[in-house]
Amino acid sequence: MYGLTGFGLGAYAEYKCMKEKDSTYGCLALKPGNISFEAATVAAYGGLLAFQYMEKANIRRGQNVLIYGASGTTGTTAIQLAKYLGATVTGVCSTSNLAMVKSLGADAVIDYTKENTTDPGLQYDFILDAVGKNKTSKLKDACKRALAPGGKYISIDDGSLKLDSGRLALIKELVEAGHIKPVVDRCYPFEEIAEAHRYVEKGHKKGGVVVKVN
């Protein structure tokens, strides 16, 4: 099984009792058979957030989609999901992540540390801000102005994470079919948990960071 316990906080633990049915305390589904447990944790967290916000967009084949923050846990999944849905996808990230975001299927990438504007001839039907409202740049403002008439702009901070085993089951299918590959940045042993937190708090993880409790 794989799943998510939500944002109940509390301690890291080796075992956790979970309800079989979805609740505010968590959701569970069968784990994708072709990936490790470490990768499955990234698929669950990034996947649930990406699916929840992308579903709101009702993306159709051929639409122009921009993912701002394409290299984080949600962004790396959102890029792949938008491609799977048939969109033409632009990813925004910093210089060191351009190649990784391209490798996930992005048709175009923009470096927010170097560019302040988007292509003037291009408008986006859907823009997902996958890094949240606290992280911004001149390029982010330019992206908002590049929204097509009738287009939708959603921030990952608009609403809270829904724990949904149905979505987890769908993520499993897409992972097993090879449409979505979870990106695991680093995997820390439990003994190095302080270091894991320090790394994540820098705010530049590539995909997800995992802590392994033996």
Residues lying near ligand NAP in the complex (CB under 6 A): 49, 69, 71-74, 93-94, 97, 112, 131-132, 135-137, 156-157, 159-161, 200, 203-205
Cβ proximity to ligand NAP: between 29 and 156 the closer is 156
Which residue sits closest to ligand NAP, CB atoms considered? 132
**DSSP of the chain, one letter per residue?**
-EEE-TT------S-----SS-BTTBEEEPPPTTS-HHHHHHHHHHHHHHHHHHHHHT--TT-EEEEESTTBHHHHHHHHHHHHTT-EEEEEE-GGGHHHHHHTT-SEEEETTT--S--TT--EEEEEE-S-TT---HHHHHHHHTEEEEEEEEETTSS-----HHHHHHHHHHHHTTS----EEEEEEGGGHHHHHHHHHTT--SBEEEEE--
| Nearest CB to ligand NAP, comparing residues 132 and 176 | 132
Q: How far apart are CA 97 and CA 3, in angstroms?
A: 27
CB of 160 to ligand NAP, least distance (A): 4
CB of 140 to ligand NAP, least distance (A): 6
For residue 95, the minimal CB distance to ligand NAP (Å) is: 8
Shortest Å, Cβ 101 to ligand NAP: 8
Between 23 and 34, name the residue whose CB sits nearer to ligand NAP: 23
- Taking the complex as a whole, the smallest distance from the CB of residue 181 to ligand NAP amounts, in Å, to 16
Strands 27-29 and 2-4: antiparallel
123 or 137: CB nearest ligand NAP: 137
Residues 152, 129: Cα–Cα separation, whole Å = 11
Closest separation in Å from C-beta 180 to ligand NAP: 15
Nearer to ligand NAP, 119 or 177 (CB): 119
Question: In this complex, which beta carbon is closest to ligand NAP, that of residue 80 or of residue 97?
Answer: 97
